[in-house]
Amino acid sequence: MSKKITVDVHHLARVEGHGDIRIRIESGKLIDAAWEVVETPRFFEAMLVGKHYSTAPVLTARICGICSIGHALASLRGIENALGVAIPDTAAKLRLLAKHGETLQSHFLHLFFLAAPDFLGLPSVLPLLSTRPAVVALAAKAKGIANHLCDAVAGRTTHPVSFKVGGMSVAPDKAILAGLKNELAEIPELLKITVEIFQGFEIPDFARETEFVSLKGQKEYPWIGGRVVSSDGVDLPESSYREITNEFVTENNTSKWSKLSRDSYAVGALARFNNNFKHLAPAAKSIADFFRLSPVSHNPFMHNIARLVEVVHCLAEARRLVDELLDTDLSRNLAAEVTPRAGSGTGAVEVPRGILFHHYELDDTGRIAKADCVIPTTQNNANIHYDLVELARQCAARGLGDKKIELMCSMLVRAYDPCISCSVH
Amino acid sequence: MKYLNIAAAKPKVGVFSLTCCEGCALQLANKEETLAAFLSAVDVVNFREISSDKSDDYAIALIEGSISREDEVASLKAIRDRAKVLVAYGTCACFGGVNRLKNVLDFDWMNREVYGETPKATSPVRPVREVVPVDFEIPGCPVSKAEVERIVTHLVLGLPFAYPVYPVCVECKQRFTVCRFDLGELCLGPITRAGCNAPCPAGGLGCWGCRGPAEAPNYEEFLELARSRGIGDAELRERLSFFGGFDSAYELAQDEPLAVRPVA
Ligand code: SF4
Ligand code: SF4
Ligand code: SF4
């Protein structure tokens, strides 16, 4: 048999941004497989040079339409570290609450709108509008509540307006927080149905051993700042981000690649889960258990389940934070005093797709001399590529047809929920 | 969707992304109260971000993003040929958006700063209307979903749509937001087109002008106001160039203020 199979996916659908999959198989042997990012670069790091530090969170939010809150937060933390500013407790709580809103909306978007259609054999969620309107209504409702959380705390779902260097500009009204408390109380019921839906999905059985990198939880599941840890034993402060990410440029990609202890590493929900399982809320742990996900899982398709687990965890934390904020005087202590000074600082934030680093060097007038942003999908790209090679090899060995291989490989890339325009920025 | 019990024609819509953050397309999946109704009013036949279906038969094309590499010109022209109505969707598409900030940089330096010794292809950023004719522009970074719904309803029912002619200040005052200028901060509300309901002044950020100029803005008077509140031309220029909609005001903001610098 000298059958030739070619898979050529130009601009993969149901991912953010532009990336291609190329596979060539001859007589059941893999000849070539590649994940290539072809997105147009925007040169954010160069644009930032010479700008005032207060512009950075506003500008870098525009790196990504899905995780703009995470970018703003990483930017703020990098600048605050450069300026030696510690933000007040209330501001930290508000920022984390906005962060949970973003994680929830992004995870819901991915689970329902981007991932679910593959498992249901559909091109998109749109046909469900007429066949299973209740599922679409559920997805929209859950995502809507998450968006309300962002609107209330960050002032807007996409491109936040209530953050500032030093803390927060404004805090939400208590009446709005009380409304959110009621809305969040509706989600557990929605989640029960979500779990039932996902229970019916067949998660492909595939694994390739790799290294997982994430923030390290001290007492809690980690989201903003602190030490960075890897499943291969690396443990460094966030300021050592360059030693961790080791970005390099490849010929066929506008996104850079990263590596640490091996040829590639993975970040994202599964990495956070693998490295910080013990800090998850009990309800989140039981969902993991229900789907037979336990650390350390090397199956990239399990990113989807890890997202569901994190949804349960974020929801529990968001409800706790809302309660605490309802008991806090929100009329004062929202921001610390800030004075420009020369210095450099790094901010690491766990955004939906994994750990994000921003680094800034400031001059004594508050202008940016150098900026560097290392994006989760940039760190994942090499890992996606090597996973793809291995999956294509196994598919070839099993003698699968081109349509099936294309679907499996597309699902693999989607499992990482890549944010490609973000990775190129 | 029925209006007066008459089902309106469902236009076929394609959504396409050029250079941008894809935040504007994302807004289409927001506003859960009306999401199902919105999606049933139109027939989405090409929208790579959410669907692997891909049809070249569409009447309305929404273009988000700006043009920043030569291969995007050909894709855009092909879309223009197929669509009856081409909509520049979002600030990147209407004015170039934040992407345009790179246009003033030295491209060799910029490429080295980001990619070292392996430079990548790139060209000066252009808004959609500089490459193909545009039928309609929806500004906003991101666009406001409420406004997009108003526009789509008008299009589907064949009614003319008009943007507010007044500036963001009008909506800002209606929300009782404390004026950023009274706090000694800069705000582009007085010269920017309303329609967003002024979220940025209310959030404490001030307006950065993502929707472009209001009707007949008085730039001289605006610059005088800002300077009299102690805001320097360097800050004004940083703000006016941010989204790309205020080139002529930017040209006027070339002096640092002289003696006028009262304490805020
Ligand atoms: S206009 Fe703003 S939100 Fe829309 S795509 Fe451009 S950067 Fe993103
Ligand atoms: S804050 Fe801005 S938009 Fe609001 S009234 Fe003042 S200048 Fe106008
Ligand atoms: S307030 Fe200004 S910057 Fe904010 S959305 Fe409106 S026009 Fe855009």
ipTM: 0.92
Reference B141, options B252, B30, B51, B25; nearest CA is B25
B132, B186: one domain: no
B133, B175: one domain: no
pLDDT in tens, B85-99: 999 999 999 999 999
B126, B228: one domain: no
Domain count, chain B: 2
> Would you tell me which residues 68-107 of chain B have a C-beta closer than 8 angstroms to some C-beta of chain A?
68-69, 72, 97-99, 101-102, 105
Give yes or no for a contact between B86 and B132, defined as CB atoms under 8 angstroms apart. yes
pLDDT of residue A54: 96
pLDDT of residue B83: 96
**Which value, to the nearest 10 degrees, does the dihedral of the CA atoms of residues B199, B204, B208, B210 take?**
-20
Query: Does residue B258 lie in a domain region?
Result: no
B34, B149: one domain: yes
B6, B109: one domain: yes
pLDDT of residue A253: 78
Query: Does residue B74 lie in a domain region?
Result: yes
pLDDT of residue A379: 95
- Domain with B88 in it: what CATH number? 3.40.50.700
Question: What pTM value is reported for the model?
Answer: 0.94
Query: How many A from CA of B190 to the centre of ligand 2?
Result: 6
pLDDT of residue B7: 54
B120, B199: one domain: no
B116, B176: one domain: no
Q: From the CA of B157, how many Å to the nearest CA of chain A?
A: 22
B145, B174: one domain: no
Residue B260 has pLDDT above 70, yes or no: no
Domain end call among B157, B177, B193 = B157
pLDDT of residue B258: 39
pLDDT of residue B53: 87
Query: Does residue B260 lie in a domain region?
Result: no
pLDDT of residue B8: 59
- For residue B112, give Cα distances in angstroms to A109, A420, B118, B168: 36, 21, 8, 40
| A114 CB within 8 Å of a chain B CB | yes
B205, B207, B208, B241: best to mutate for the A interface, most A CBs within 10 A: B205
> Would you tell me which residues 366-425 of chain A have a C-beta closer than 8 angstroms to some C-beta of chain B?
410, 421-422
Residue A251: pLDDT band by 50, 70, 90 thresholds?
Answer: confident
Query: Does residue B264 lie in a domain region?
Result: no
Domain end call among B103, B132, B157 = B157
pLDDT in tens, A292-351: 999 999 999 999 999 999 999 999 999 999 999 999 999 999 999 999 999 999 999 999
- Tokens of residue A326, six digits: 């309802």
B19, B102: one domain: yes
pLDDT in tens, A356-395: 999 999 999 999 999 999 999 999 999 999 999 999 999 9
Nearest CA in chain A to B23: A65
Residue B5 has pLDDT above 60, yes or no: no
Query: Does residue B230 lie in a domain region?
Result: yes
Whether B177 is in the pocket of ligand 2, judged by its Cβ within 6 Å, is: yes
pLDDT of residue B114: 87
B149, B54: one domain: yes
Q: Report the alpha-carbon distance of residue B264 to residue B260 in Å, rounded.
A: 12
Least confident of A98-102, A240-244, A255-259: A255-259
Query: Does residue B108 lie in a domain region?
Result: yes
What number is the average pLDDT over the span A276-286? 97
Whether B142 is in the pocket of ligand 1, judged by its Cβ within 6 Å, is: yes
B190, B228: one domain: yes
Query: Does residue B182 lie in a domain region?
Result: yes
Residue B2 has pLDDT above 70, yes or no: no
What number is the average pLDDT over the span A223-241? 97
Q: Which ligand is nearest to the CA of B172?
A: 2
pLDDT in tens, B140-178: 999 998 999 898 888 778 888 999 999 999 999 999 999
Which residue type, as a one-letter code, is found at position A260? L
Residue A231: pLDDT band by 50, 70, 90 thresholds?
Answer: very high
Residue B261: pLDDT band by 50, 70, 90 thresholds?
Answer: very low
Tokens 């981000």 -> residue: A241
Q: Give the nearest partner residue to B68 out of A42, A55, A157, using CB atoms.
A: A42
B130, B17: one domain: yes
Average pLDDT, chain A: 94
pLDDT in tens, A170-183: 999 999 999 999 99
Count Cβ atoms within 10 A of the Cβ of residue A178 and give its class: 0-12 exposed, 13-18 middle, 19 or more buried.
exposed
Domain end call among B97, B126, B157 = B157
| A136 CB within 8 Å of a chain B CB | yes
Its domain, for residue B116, covers 2-157
Query: Does residue B41 lie in a domain region?
Result: yes
